[in-house]
Structure 1
Amino acid sequence: MIEEPAAVLTVTMVAEATGYSVQQVRDLERLGVLAAAIRASNGYRQFAPDHVRDLHAYRDLAYAVGPVEARHVLRAIRSLPLTDAAALVCDLPARLNQEREQALAARVALHAISAEAATDTAPVAADAMTITELSRALGLRASTLRFWEQAGLITPDRVPTRSGSARRYQPAAIHHARITTALRAAGYGITDIQRTLTAIRELRDVSHSLAALDDRLHTIAQRQLALLRAVATIGQIIRDGESS
């Protein structure tokens, strides 16, 4: 049986088929994300259907793990030995699973904090903590609490001492520190946490934070699906490299 020659695609055809610009296609080939195109006698690039396939995989992978990591992976698998290339790809789902676990843990923490707000008795002065007590309770360094204070996330009282003053965290500050810990574990940045705490101070609940975590979990699920699509193609790229 005579094997039919692969279709020859111009860079414009590849761009139209994938939604990338002509320059982006050229750049991704130059960066090694795509296999090098064959050069015609006139110097023009000649692409194949596999290039379109690989660009779709790159788009999914970039959505799943970020464009920098996606470029690194697609470059590396073309040069690494089979065992190393397979290990690199198999590590990708673990990172997304870790993000999901962090978001789930943060959601559980926020649920607990929300429940406490509805059932706790009125706070008293004896509930206050020193910076050492609070850092130990949260599993943080004292320097982290001081940084959060500088960022306006938590506001301890200042108690006079012989050498100056000491931080004293009242129940409200402890509450905010626990919310901050939960959101940081889920990957939220300082600016997002500032907005969250502002809303909590005004609304006195964390329902919007729980909704935000639900949105994050949904996004992670979409990224996981995109990763599964990309990995199928990446496996084919690795097999092609082994057989060539």
Structure 2
Amino acid sequence: MSEVPQAPQPSAPLRTVDVARESGYSVQQVRDLERLGVIPPAVRSANSYRSYTSLHIQALRAYRGLAEATGPVEARRLLTELRTATLADAAAAVNAVHVLLAREREEVLRAQQALHAIGAETGAGPVGQESDAMTITELAGALGVRTSTLRFWEEEGLLTPERVTSLRARRYGPAAVGTARIVLALRGAGYGIAAVREALTALQQDNDPAETARVLQDRLDRIAARTVTLLRAGADLAAVVERAGGRI
């Protein structure tokens, strides 16, 4: 005689200390993240004790992965939105993080290519024809920055555009475009204006790209580490996404 299947039993409520232990956060951090909306409010018992579920643990683990991939501020915003978004919007938001990391990696790779090209062109005359030049709007669009950012880099001596004499319109040749990509990558790696200027001076005067190459490779390695962290958080993020709409 076959056994009658038993209905699954709900998991026992978890205390704050249980959630802290399983998620790797302190008790106070769990309460703070609940207050900030990263995880939904815990159910309160008659004696006002918090009661959590395993899904709260998954949300906290998902937050850890997002925080390492995008930073804590953006991670808090995403987790808060994911809890009330539609399934489609929640999935799209997570995918956007992967796209962002892929774009950062692609930009650093382009900067590395520009670095090699600048090293090869040092001491040579002007490279490229006028048809290869880009306007300030085109270059800003290619880099994903504002035109005001390019003007600021020019003011700080990081980027020197070619100019059309009659209109005073900025145009950037291949060498300037390559320099702009390196500046963008170095700034994205957290280097200040003075440090970027020093790196560019070394490239232009000493023809020694070793330090800049090291910085770019270090940035690639950190992007890879952030990507792996996000992938490891995938199962927990999926649990949050599947319960989009606040059903956690």
Identify the TM-score tier after normalising by the shorter chain: 0.7 to 0.9
Taking a change above 3 Å as real, the CA distance of residues 226 and 2 of structure 1, as seen in their structure-2 partners, is: same
Aligned length, in residue pairs: 223
2:64 alignment counterpart: 59
Mapping 1:11-160, distance limit 5 Å = 11-117=16-122, 120-121=123-124, 137=133, 139-140=135-136, 147-153=152-158
TM-superposed deviation, 1:64: 0.8
Give the alignment's TM-score, normalised by structure 1: 0.73
Identity, in percent, stands at 42
- Are the counterparts in 1 of residues 86 and 244 from structure 2 also a CA contact under 8 Å? no
TM-superposed deviation, 1:72: 1.8
TM-superposed deviation, 1:150: 3.3
Identify unmatched segments of 5+ residues in structure 1.
128-132, 157-165, 167-173
1:232 alignment counterpart: 235
AA in 1 matched with 2:199: T
Question: In structure 2, how many angstroms separate the alpha carbons of the residues matched to 1:51 and 1:143?
Answer: 43
Mapping 1:190-209, distance limit 5 Å = 190-191=192-193, 192-200=195-203, 203-209=206-212
AA in 2 matched with 1:37: A
Question: In structure 2, how many angstroms separate the alpha carbons of the residues matched to 1:206 and 1:16?
Answer: 47
2:164 alignment counterpart: none
2:140 alignment counterpart: none
Per-residue deviation, residues 17-40 of structure 1 (Å, max 9, x unmatched): 434333321121122211221212
Identify unmatched segments of 5+ residues in structure 2.
1-5, 138-146, 162-167, 169-173
Taking a change above 3 Å as real, the CA distance of residues 206 and 79 of structure 1, as seen in their structure-2 partners, is: same
Structure having greater relative contact order (Cα 8 Å, sep ≥ 6): 2
Question: In structure 1, how many angstroms separate the alpha carbons of the residues matched to 2:246 and 2:36?
Answer: 23
Per-residue deviation, residues 23-64 of structure 1 (Å, max 9, x unmatched): 321121122211221212221212233322221211111111
1:211 alignment counterpart: 214
Taking a change above 3 Å as real, the CA distance of residues 99 and 83 of structure 1, as seen in their structure-2 partners, is: same
